[in-house]
Amino acid sequence: MQRRKFLALSSLSLSTITFSSFKSIAPIRKPIVISTWDAGIEANKAAWQILRNGGTALDAVEQGVMVTESSQNCCVGLGANPDRDGFVTLDASIMDHQFNCGSVAFLERIKHPISVARRVMEKTPHVMLVGEGAQQFAVAEGFKLEEKKLSSEAEKSYQNWLKKSEYKPIINIERTKGENAFAPNKLETGEWNHDTIGMIAMDGNGNLSGSCTTSGAGFKMRGRVGDSPIIGAGLFVDNEIGAATATGQGEDVIRICGTHLVVELMRNGLHPEEACKKAVERIIKAKGIEKSKQIQVGFIAINKQGEYGGYCLQKGFNFAVCYADDKNFLEDGKYIL
């Protein structure tokens, strides 16, 4: 009996040793880049070009999201829906592998807020510049002040919204029936929507960086700033542990310091997906189930092993993952409600 117990125990510990040694020698998946929503596929392509050629994660996450800022996306960059007074105001943040970070908020008429955020990080003693001051800084840095004009689609969308002037978030509205928010039926109703691109990457040297850029929430109150430019809310990177970014209702991400929480959960040993899930659960705990059903929040994260994951409140969130020339694909975020 004793001998049988001994044999059982030793085979158990042998398999534990073998499993954990296997885990620790599992190759690190790098470089890797992941980003929120399906616009992430195009953004990842640009980031991947940099990563595959030995570039830094910082350059990759800047150049990657610039693709989305340049597109006539409803929710990112100057083509996006305006605030309720008819102005497009943009938020962005960037963070590198040494806790350097920069951000801009409530920025108008600048095509690439992410690059201004990077200049704030690299050229000022500050982390965040907002509004007129951010714009002045951008112009002084050589960024062009674009025309004060809505894209024709955003103009239509705004005119429709003005008919009711209702601030009415509808979750995942950009995704219903696979359309974007400028789809004709959305233009008729002028429905409220919001979206963002958040991107996190690890380069060939194993260094992490992240970026996040958005117009925030379409038809928001003038002056509203969401989570995206707030370090620890919309974006956080700790090069020892991992990186995370967020999308969805920014107010609720700020409330729980969402991405900082995700990184801390990874520090405690959770897999990125599990860490994102726990952060989503924290929102439900803070808000209650009924109110949580009315919003969407999604987190994505990577760790130093190149493991990744995403989790969201409601069905409908997806993210793009790229770690090889022929591996750039969309994954549906698992959801709780």
Binding stretches for ligand ASP (CB under 6 A): 194-196, 214, 216-217, 226-228, 247-250
Q: Please, what is the minimum distance in Å from the beta carbon of residue 246 to ligand ASP?
A: 6
Q: Which residue type does 30 have?
A: K
Distance separating alpha carbons of residues 81 and 219, to the nearest angstrom:
7
Closest CB to ligand ASP among 113 and 216? Answer: 216
Cα dihedral across residues 179, 111, 87, 36: positive or negative: positive
Cα dihedral across residues 24, 26, 32, 38: positive or negative: negative
Given the residues 68, 196, 213, 245, select the one marked as catalytic. Answer: 196
Q: Please, what is the minimum distance in Å from the beta carbon of residue 216 to ligand ASP?
A: 4
Closest CB to ligand ASP among 206 and 335? Answer: 335
Distance separating alpha carbons of residues 223 and 262, to the nearest angstrom:
28
Distance separating alpha carbons of residues 137 and 142, to the nearest angstrom:
9
Closest CB to ligand ASP among 121 and 225? Answer: 225
Do 79 and 214 touch, CB atoms closer than 8 A?
no
Q: Please, what is the minimum distance in Å from the beta carbon of residue 145 to ligand ASP?
A: 23
Closest CB to ligand ASP among 228 and 314? Answer: 228
**36 given a catalytic annotation:** no
Strand partners, 201: 33, 209
Side-chain-side CA neighbours of 8 within 13 Å: the count stands at: 5
Nearest one of 201, 221, 151, 156 to 36, comparing CA atoms: 201
**Residues classed as catalytic:** 196
